[in-house]
Chains A and B, each alone.
Chain A
Amino acid sequence: MLIFSVFKTLTDQQVTVELKNDLSITGILKSVDQFLNIRLDNIKVSDEARHPHMMAVKNCFIRGSVVRYVQISAENVDTQLLEDATRREALNQNVYLDAEYKLESREWRLPSGIG
């Protein structure tokens, strides 16, 4: 969910998407959804001479499951903020994994020191 939000903040920025078939496509990020499917506008395939298949394609939808990397430019992301946020999210998930459900009282008990 966090990464989805990060991608939403990157809309209208230029990104390069590398696919699991080794195609690399650069374009303007127009939208992203919960599956991390990506819409790109104004696309350009790297090494067009080798990949003329998409010459007449100007915008495309890329299925999230086939994306290997998304390259974003450093100025478009606050790395410190992202680091803090990912750690906070990971910590919260661990809290829920460690939680116990008490049958008698029918409530969740969080590990000591939390909540």
Chain B
Amino acid sequence: MSSLQGYVDRRVLLILQDGRAIVGTMAGYDQKSNVVLSDTKERVYSMDEGVEEIPLGLYLVKGDMVVLIGELDDAIDQATDLSTIHAEPIPPIRY
């Protein structure tokens, strides 16, 4: 179970089963891929407006809900102007 090693204290993007995208600092995780993120913000994508960031604070996400956790490259992320990005939200998981 090496898989989430190396993400602790990094800025990560978390994609959930319902399609929500959350960025935050990985505070911890366990073997069931439950994760704790601090300073989280949800990124709400839409075609009509730029990306809206909603601060959520500290989040504990149950492993079942996790789809993907990606390490954010801070340089690229900060260089991106979210208000100019128009995109469909990520589709929810369909079994």
Identify the A interface with B (CB < 8 A).
19-23, 31-34, 37-39, 43, 50-63, 65-66
CA distance A34 to B73 in the complex (A): 28
- Binary contact track B41-72/A, C-beta < 8 Å → 1, others 0: 00101000000000000000001101111111
Given A51-B87, A53-B13, A66-B17, also A31-B2 (CB < 8 A) = yes
- How many A-B pairs have beta carbons closer than 8 Å: the answer is 88
Given A61-B68, A63-B66, A66-B17, also A23-B90 (CB < 8 A) = yes
User: Which residues of chain A are within 8 angstroms of B19 by Cβ–Cβ distance?
Assistant: 21
Count, chain B residues at interface, CB 8 A: 36
B87 near A50: Cβ-Cβ < 8 Å: yes
Residue of B nearest to A41 (CB): B71
User: Which residues of chain A are within 8 angstroms of B91 by Cβ–Cβ distance?
Assistant: 21-23
Given A21-B19, A39-B3, A55-B80, also A60-B85 (CB < 8 A) = no
Q: 28 A-B residue contacts at CB 8 Å?
A: A19-B67, A20-B95, A21-B19, A21-B90, A21-B91, A33-B2, A37-B3, A37-B33, A39-B2, A52-B87, A53-B21, A53-B43, A55-B76, A56-B72, A56-B73, A57-B70, A58-B71, A58-B73, A60-B71, A61-B4, A61-B68, A61-B70, A63-B67, A65-B64, A66-B17, A66-B67, A66-B68, A66-B93
CA distance A51 to B15 in the complex (A): 13
At the interface, is chain B mostly helix, strand, loop or mixed?
loop
CA distance A34 to B59 in the complex (A): 26
A21 near B80: Cβ-Cβ < 8 Å: no
User: Which residues of chain A are within 8 angstroms of B15 by Cβ–Cβ distance?
Assistant: 21, 53
Measured CB to CB, the closest approach of chain A to B93, in angstroms, equals 5
19 more contacts with CB within 8 A, not counting A60-B68, A63-B66, are A20-B93, A23-B90, A31-B3, A37-B3, A51-B90, A52-B87, A53-B13, A53-B21, A56-B13, A56-B73, A56-B80, A57-B71, A57-B73, A58-B70, A59-B71, A61-B7, A62-B67, A66-B68, A66-B93
